[in-house]
């Protein structure tokens, strides 16, 4: 993923982080092959864009702030990806991987 696309996703209010587009178990075979080919520095893509049947599809996995409305964040991330990849028509799949835990409650002080 380009840093500009990552910045566009991270700029969405409520996004706390961007995770690799594929789960670890989905990346293991490719990762093993890259290690055998000595490409250990290859980082997994954070956004995967594939072309299938003449249609582009983007996959994004994000973390969301507990203070944000998750459906609104997901819609905004999809819009940010579509805007970034315009004019290409792209379907965007956004998965929420983590809703970050809020700060622990402040200890009450007795007067």
Nearest Cα to 23, choosing from 99, 103, 98, 88? 98
105: in domain: no
pTM for the model: 0.72
Cβ pair 93, 60 in contact under 8 A: yes
Structure token digits, residue 23: 């789960």
pLDDT of amino acid 104: 43
* Domain hosting residue 29, numbered range: 3-34+43-99
110: in domain: no
79: in domain: yes
30: in domain: yes
Nearest Cα to 31, choosing from 18, 23, 40, 22? 40
Cβ pair 81, 8 in contact under 8 A: yes
77: in domain: yes
7: in domain: yes
81: in domain: yes
88: in domain: yes
Domain of residue 56, CATH code: 3.30.70.1350
Express each pLDDT in 71-104 by its tens digit.
Answer: 999 999 999 999 999 998 899 999 999 997 544 4
pLDDT of amino acid 110: 45
């Amino acid at each position: 993923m380009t840093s500009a696309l990552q910045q566009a996703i991270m700029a969405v209010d409520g996004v706390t982080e961007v995770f690799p587009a594929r789960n670890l178990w989905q990346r293991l075979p490719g990762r093993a092959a890259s290690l055998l080919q000595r490409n250990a520095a290859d980082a997994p893509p954070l956004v995967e864009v594939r072309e299938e049947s003449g249609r582009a599809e983007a996959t994004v996995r994000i973390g969301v702030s507990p203070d944000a409305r998750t459906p609104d964040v997901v819609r905004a991330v999809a819009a940010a990806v579509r805007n970034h990849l315009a004019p290409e028509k792209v379907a965007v799949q956004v998965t929420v991987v983590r809703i970050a835990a809020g700060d622990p409650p402040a200890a009450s002080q007795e007067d």
